[in-house]
Chain A
């Protein structure tokens, strides 16, 4: 069948290399134009700004690899963030408790997605749009849009590790955990299998319900962690701060090579995708370009990237057809 003759490996490799080389070019370019670009403070600040996105992107990446999509993670982050903050403010606690609760709430909300998708046999995009709408609406209704300002001191205290900000450390841990189970644990390989050929996964005996629960649960879990880190960073919990970021995160993950059809995607690619966006936008800031242009630049990068990938894939397919038999 012609479709399966697509040169996955070649396209994928080239994509990673392409993004990496663009990142390198951008770094060279911007550091030449603006000397402050490669300064430690700028780099650290850059990483810190995008930590939350990196954490959410990890969860979304896993969902995309499994062949689905999750639009609800920002809402899950918002809900979890608010719940945890409220509990911490009322009952006190520590970081262990905070992370534990955030992970728990996030994972539970995520598993709801999995159950709905599995039992209703529905498209993940529709289900997660619905749960997103529901979670966010309930959050706004219950909180009346009010932010939480009086977070405990231990929560907002600076926790840098050797000068590396706490959000960056958390992001690094999450990315590492993601890479670990995706490439080294069976469940990760099964997720790739599920995304590559869901029918085969079923026939081989994969526990589809279990995999879905894990995948969407993980997306929720990372969303919970991301919400927590965001609250720590900005020292307040604003219910609607994270909403609207879904598509930015999706853009970064897709830029990094993940396929909407499933089965393809890596953490390294995602990191590169985020880096690319972060570097370009940061570079523009340093050049004095108005931040109002960021949306346009991001959109343009997405369009160019996906077009280039598609064009390359088409050329490869034509080459394959010519050499068949």
Chain B
């Protein structure tokens, strides 16, 4: 980012926005947009009939939301200058709680009103489980001042431990159609999980940019002390951050258990680091304070396209993962070069 100028006689904006202004305004979105287009062209050229089919689109629409909602759950703590390593564990625990209630209390022959009631109960229980984890995490981070990596490392281990202990590592499965619809159904042509994801994304986006909570979280991410001096209740805000993150894990849990028709303590563990990757790729500053949901959304699309594309081409999923690792490094390199370029351009503009 351009650093201080001793005088504030900043450059008067040119009447027509130059490429630099436009690029500088949100370079992440621009870059991701370009990469998405390139990826689509690449895979489209390689396997046009299969890539551009409705089936592929629908498949992507079903796969992306799990990772997407979890990525949102990772984004909020990142914006606050922290991290939540426990998102997968929280989601799994929440899913297991819901799964246990559903499978214990209703069966294929249960009357519909029972089913509805139990589902509601289960959802509430899953919500509470996530809420509790989020509260504990948030309070230790906010009131004891422990580094979020350490706290969430502890909660992740503990939560997964509870889940493993309670289930002996086993699977709980077999849910009624109502639940399965949430993971596999289609609403107005759009996969239901995608609907849930988009809803969550919109809510998070609105809160982060237009709600007092969002503004406070961003400022806390850049400088917690100064924000506190300005009269913001930073400790409760931080509790809110981890509660919000955990509640998003609950939504992810619903989608996951619906899609897999089961719940287990160790599901989706490889997702943890991918969510961090998606967030950083999407322009969320790992130091805190900056990032937009739109960027995250686009980076998830890009990652999904790469994943699906390679899958269609017959590549092993491992190749996709390797590509993701390289993409992350490239993204950092590009961001570094962009910062240097912007600094030189900006200085050039203001030299007398």
Contacts and interface: CB of A to CB of B under 8 A. Distances in A.
Do A and B share a complex?
A: yes
Contacts of A314: 144-145
Interface string B125-169: 000000000000000100011110111011111111110110011
Interface stretch (B20-28, B102-110, B175-183, B326-334): B326-334
Contact of B150 (A132, A292, A302): A302
Contacts of A134: 321-322, 325-326
Nearest to B157: A299
A306 B151 contact: yes
A294 interface: yes
A261 B324 CA distance: 28
B160 A310 contact: no
B164 A292 contact: yes
B322 A306 contact: no
Interface in B12-61: none
Contact of B160 (A130, A133, A299, A313): A299
A134 B144 CA distance: 36
B286 A125 contact: yes
B157 A129 contact: no
Size band of the interface chain B makes with A: 35 or more
Given A141-B316, A314-B145, A126 B153 contact: no
A36 interface: no
> Which one of A122, A290, A313 has the greatest number of beta carbons of chain B within 10 Å?
A122
B276 interface: yes
Interface of A: 69, 71, 116, 120-123, 125-127, 129-138, 140-141, 244, 247-248, 250-251, 254, 260-261, 290, 292-300, 302-303, 306-307, 309-311, 313-314
Given A71-B273, A247-B85, 16 more contacts: A122-B336, A126-B276, A129-B273, A137-B319, A248-B157, A290-B165, A296-B165, A299-B154, A302-B157, A302-B158, A306-B150, A307-B140, A307-B144, A309-B146, A310-B145, A311-B144
27 contacts: A69-B149, A120-B332, A120-B333, A125-B83, A126-B280, A129-B273, A129-B276, A129-B328, A130-B329, A131-B325, A133-B277, A133-B321, A134-B325, A140-B321, A141-B322, A292-B164, A296-B157, A296-B158, A298-B157, A299-B160, A300-B154, A303-B140, A303-B151, A306-B150, A306-B151, A306-B154, A309-B146
Interface of B: 83, 85, 140, 144-147, 149-151, 153-162, 164-165, 168-169, 269, 273-274, 276-277, 280, 286-287, 316, 318-322, 324-326, 328-329, 332-333, 336
